[in-house]
Amino acid sequence: MKNQKSIKLENVKLIAIPLLCMVVLVFPLILREINGEPLAEDISYYHTRIAQQISDKLWLPKEDNYLYGGRMMPLIPGLATFLAVPNLIFNIPINTFSKILPILIGVFSFLIFFMLLQEFKVDKRLTDISLFLLVISPPFIYTFTTLNDHIIPVFLILLSSLLYLRNKKFFSLMTFLLIPLFSIPDAFIGLFFFFIYLLSTKKKLKPFFFMLLLVSIISLVQYLPMILSYGLPELLDFKVSEKGVNFAFQNFISDFGGKFGVSLFSILLGISGLFVVWKKKYKNLLIYTLFIVLIVLSFYLTWLIVYLNFLLIVLASVGLIYLMKKKWESRLIKNFIILIFVFGLIFSGISHINRISKMPPSKLVFDSLNNLRLEPEGVVLSHYSNGFWISGIANKPVVMDRHFIYMPNVNQRNRDLQDIFYSINVEDITKLLDKYNINYIWIDKEMKEGQVWSREDDGLLFLLNYNPKILGIRYRKFEKIYSNEETEIWRVKENF
C-alpha cells in the first residue's frame, strides 16, 4: 500500500514540477502581452531582424547593412537561422516564434537537467528540491523567457552531457559541435566543463583535445572571411555600459536588479552546502575549483551566471536539506529560519518575473520607433545600447550598436559619438554629422537621466533646444518630429 502511494506521489511530481516550470516561464510573456509590451531585450531585435532577412532573401546575409558603413557577419548566424526555418517551412511569424522558443527550450533544458541528476545518482529528495529551486531561480527565468545568445547553447551543452553519460558519444559530439554556430564563448565554456569532468573522474583527456580541435576549426571557419579581410577584431578602449546597471556587483545579485543575477538566499544556502560537501575534501576538489572559478569570472562575464546557477542550485539544495536535518535547540526557530529561506527564494523568483514583464523596450519606446520607421530612410544617432531597437523596430541603420566585434573603427566611432553628445562646438558637431550621414537623433529617458547626460542643457541637448546657426556656408537645424513621455525624435535638417 505504501509502495503504491509512493509511486503515485512520484508520478504526480513528474507531472507537477515540469508543469510548474512551464507556468513560471510563460507567466512573464502573459504579463507583457496583457500590458501591450513588445518583445523584451534589445538583442532579440537583432536576431529577429537577421532572421527576417534570411527568410526574405532565402540566403544567409554576408553583411549587416543596418550599421552605418556595414559590418561583416559570421558564416552562419546560428540563432537567426534557427528562427527563420519555421517561418520558411510552416510560415510561423518570426516574432511569434521568438516568444515561444525560449520557453520550449527552457522546459526541455529543465527535463534534461532532471535526467542528468538521475545519471549522477542524486537522491530523490535532493533532486526534487534542486528542480524546484532551479524553476524559481532568476538566472533560469531570465535565460528562458527572453530571446538571448545563450538559450540554445545551454540546452546543447546539457543535451551533449546527457548523451555522453549514456555512452552515446558520437551523438554527444555532433550535438556539441553545433554550439559554436550559436555562440563561440559558450562552446569553450562547455569544453572547460568537460575538461573538469574528465579530471574529476580520472579519465583520459584525449576526447577533450579532440573536441577542442574541432571546436577551434569550426570557430575559425565561422569568422574566417572577417579575419582574412580585416585581421583580428579591434580591442575596445572604452567601458561598455548597460541599461539599469550602476555597479558591478548589481549584475551578480538579482535582488539588486541584475538580469542574470542569482538570489541572495541561494548564495547563502549555496555557501552552507559547500561546507557540507567540504567534508569529503579532496574528493570534490575540482568541484570547489569550478565553483570558485565561475564565481570570479561571473563578475566580469555576467552571462556565465547562467551556468554557475546550475551548480549553485544543487549546493543550495544540499544546504537547505542540511538545515532541515540539523538538530536545533528550538524547533520554532528552526522552522522560522527555513521558512525565511524558502519564501526568500520564492520572492526572488516572483520579483524577477515582474522585472522581466517590465523589461524594456516599453510600449512608449516601441510606439516611438514605429513612428521613426514611417520616416524616410536615414541614419540614426543614439546611444549604442539603443542600436538593436532602432535597426530592428524602426528598420533604420545606426552609427553604433552593442555588437562591437568587427564594427569598423569601433573605438573611433565611440569617440565621435562622445564628441557629438557632449560638445557645444557646432562646427565640430556638423563635421561629425556629415561623417556618418546622420539624418535622425533618437533620445530616450535613460540617455537624459545619466546614461549620457545629467542635465537638460548638457552638450547636444543644449544645441537641440536652441538650434543655433552654424558658421560657414552651411548651417543645420534640428526639428523635433515626435515625442512622448519616454522618447524624442529629431530630424537633422540641412540648408544651403
Q: Tell me how far apart the alpha carbons of residues 318 and 113 are, in angstroms, rounded to a whole number.
A: 16
In-domain check, residue 69 = no
Task: Assess whether pLDDT exceeds 90 at residue 90.
Answer: yes
Q: What is the mean pLDDT of the chain?
A: 89
In-domain check, residue 81 = no
- One domain for residues 418 and 439: yes
Residues in the chain: 496
Task: Assess whether pLDDT exceeds 80 at residue 209.
Answer: yes
Please report the DSSP string for 102-132 in residue order: HHHHHHHHHHHHHHHHHHTT--HHHHHHHHH
C-alpha cell at 413: 566611432
- One domain for residues 331 and 367: no
Task: Assess whether pLDDT exceeds 50 at residue 195.
Answer: yes
368: helix, strand or coil:
helix
Task: Assess whether pLDDT exceeds 50 at residue 377.
Answer: yes
pLDDT band at 374 (very low <50, low <70, confident <90, very high): very high
In-domain check, residue 253 = yes
- One domain for residues 341 and 367: no
Task: Assess whether pLDDT exceeds 50 at residue 2.
Answer: yes
In-domain check, residue 185 = yes
pLDDT of residue 457: 83
In-domain check, residue 387 = yes
Q: Tell me how far apart the alpha carbons of residues 251 and 314 are, in angstroms, rounded to a whole number.
A: 21
- One domain for residues 224 and 319: yes
In-domain check, residue 452 = yes
* Residue among 174, 390, 356, 179 nearest 258 (CA): 356
In-domain check, residue 89 = no
pLDDT of residue 472: 40
Is residue 401 within 8 A of residue 391, CB to CB? The reply is: yes
H or E segment and range at residue 443 = strand 438-444
Is residue 139 within 8 A of residue 31, CB to CB? The reply is: no
pLDDT band at 473 (very low <50, low <70, confident <90, very high): very low
- One domain for residues 300 and 151: yes
Largest interatomic CA distance in the chain = 95
CATH code at position 395: 3.40.50
Q: Tell me how far apart the alpha carbons of residues 474 and 495 are, in angstroms, rounded to a whole number.
A: 6
Residue that is last in its domain, among 325, 357, 389: 357
Most confident listed range (164-178, 193-207, 236-250, 297-311): 164-178
Per-residue pLDDT, averaged over 459-483, amounts to 71
Pick 94 or 61 by higher pLDDT: 94
Question: Per residue in 42-51, pLDDT tens?
Answer: 999 999 999 9
pLDDT band at 382 (very low <50, low <70, confident <90, very high): very high
Most confident listed range (57-61, 100-104, 465-469): 100-104
- One domain for residues 7 and 136: yes
- One domain for residues 276 and 371: no
Main-chain dihedrals φ then ψ at residue 406, nearest 5 degrees: 60, 25
pLDDT of residue 154: 98
Residue that is last in its domain, among 357, 373, 402: 357
- One domain for residues 370 and 287: no
Query: In percent, how much of the chain has pLDDT > 90?
Result: 66
Question: Per residue in 107-141, pLDDT tens?
Answer: 999 999 999 999 999 999 999 999 999 999 999 99
Domain containing residue 431: 363-495
- Segment among 157-166, 210-219, 320-329, 388-397 with least mean pLDDT: 320-329
> CA angle at residue 158 from 25 to 103, to 5 degrees?
15
pLDDT of residue 471: 39
Per-residue pLDDT, averaged over 218-236, amounts to 86
- One domain for residues 341 and 399: no
- One domain for residues 375 and 319: no
Q: pTM of the entire structure?
A: 0.92
pLDDT of residue 249: 67
Bridge-based pairing state of the strands 63-64 and 438-444: unpaired
Is residue 83 within 8 A of residue 49, CB to CB? The reply is: no
Residue that is last in its domain, among 357, 386, 409: 357
pLDDT band at 361 (very low <50, low <70, confident <90, very high): very high
- One domain for residues 148 and 200: yes
Per-residue pLDDT, averaged over 194-210, amounts to 92
Q: Tell me how far apart the alpha carbons of residues 360 and 243 are, in angstroms, rounded to a whole number.
A: 9
Task: Assess whether pLDDT exceeds 90 at residue 321.
Answer: yes
Q: How many domains does the chain have?
A: 2
pLDDT of residue 31: 92
In-domain check, residue 186 = yes
- Segment among 53-57, 104-108, 163-167, 171-175 with least mean pLDDT: 53-57
- One domain for residues 267 and 155: yes
